[in-house]
């Protein structure tokens, strides 16, 4: 299956948005594949990651984010499960899982309820190593600042608003997926 063909099917009438989505998704895919190639011990499915990373944000077209040419009716945080619905309709339930569970470092059911998030009530934490790697890699690339990699400290700061458990998940991924990256002590206390 060719993920870019599927993107074309839904985004051909939104060329600016399509370009942003393709650029961002390729950045996430390339970082995720770098992790897979450096860490065979993770036993991640490379082919699946290559496809699913390209499709993880396919739901943004249904959301409202005019700065990146998204003019849909839904809140941006809904793009995960909306993308998942689209991918299930396309016969791609495994890819749908990646789309559904890639926001922040995962969102717990408890958080959905506590913060009254506009999401169907369930758990949105990544459930397998492929979902975890893509979720992690995604945090380093912003669609509003396409040409910059987000600094690790900034990524961690962004995740902080999802709470202590979210930071713990992210830190564990950092150690498993990019242990070779430098993490100084001064970077561990951001809040
Ligand atoms: Fe993304």
* Long-range contacts of residues 11-18, Cβ cutoff 8 Å, at least 24 apart: 11/61, 14/61, 14/69, 16/69, 17/60, 17/61, 17/68, 17/69, 17/70
Give the residue numbers spanning the domain of 35: 3-151
Q: Can you give the pLDDT at residue 190?
A: 37
Indicate whether 15 belongs to any domain: yes
pLDDT digits (tens, 9 = 90+) for 11-60: 999 999 999 999 999 999 999 999 999 999 999 999 999 999 999 999 99
Strand partners, 5: none
Q: What's the gap in Å between 138 CA and the centre of ligand 1?
A: 5
Separation of CA 114 and ligand 1 centre (Å): 24
CA nearest neighbour of 104 among 131, 83, 130: 131
Q: Which two tokens stand for residue 67?
A: 């700065």
Distances (CA, A) of 40 to 43, 58, 76, 107, 158: 5, 28, 34, 27, 29
The rounded Å distance from CA 58 to ligand 1 centre is 9
Provide the whole-model pTM: 0.94
- Residue 106 CA, ligand 1 centroid: distance in Å: 13
Question: Within the chain, which residues score under 70 in pLDDT?
Answer: 182-191
CATH code of the domain in which 141 resides: 1.10.3210
Residue 61 lies in a domain: yes
pLDDT at position 147: 85
pLDDT of residue 184: 53
Distance 26 CA to ligand 1 centre (A): 10
What's the CA-to-centroid distance between 3 and ligand 1, angstroms?
Answer: 15
CA-to-CA dists, residue 56 to 39, 66, 90, 186, angstroms: 22, 20, 14, 32
Q: Does residue 25 fall inside a structural domain?
A: yes
CA distances from 22 to 35, 80, 146 (A): 20, 16, 11
Q: pLDDT value at position 183?
A: 61
What is the model's pLDDT at position 191? 37
Q: What is the DSSP letter of 128?
A: S
Q: Classify residue 75: in a domain, yes or no.
A: yes
pLDDT number for residue 162: 85
- Tally of structural domains, the chain: 1
Compute the distance from residue 185 Cα to the ligand 1 centre, in Å: 28
- 183 within a domain of the structure (yes/no): no
């Amino acid at each position: 299956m060719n993920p870019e063909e599927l993107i074309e099917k839904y985004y051909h009438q939104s060329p600016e948005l399509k370009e942003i989505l393709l650029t961002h998704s390729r950045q996430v895919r390339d970082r995720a594949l770098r992790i897979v190639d450096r860490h065979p011990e993770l036993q991640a499915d490379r082919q699946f990651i290559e496809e699913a990373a390209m499709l993880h944000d396919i739901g943004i077209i249904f959301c409202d984010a005019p700065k990146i040419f998204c003019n849909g009716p839904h809140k941006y945080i809904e793009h995960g499960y909306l993308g998942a619905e689209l991918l299930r309709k396309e016969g791609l339930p495994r890819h749908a899982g990646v789309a559904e569970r890639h926001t922040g470092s995962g969102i717990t059911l408890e958080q959905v309820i506590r913060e009254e998030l506009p999401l169907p009530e369930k758990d949105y934490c990544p459930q397998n190593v492929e979902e975890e790697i893509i979720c992690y890699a995604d945090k380093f690339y912003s669609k509003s600042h396409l040409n910059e990699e987000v600094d690790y400290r900034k990524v961690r700061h962004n995740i902080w608003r999802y709470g202590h458990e979210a930071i713990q998940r992210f830190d564990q991924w950092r150690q498993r997926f990019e242990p070779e990256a430098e993490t100084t002590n001064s970077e561990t206390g951001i809040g």
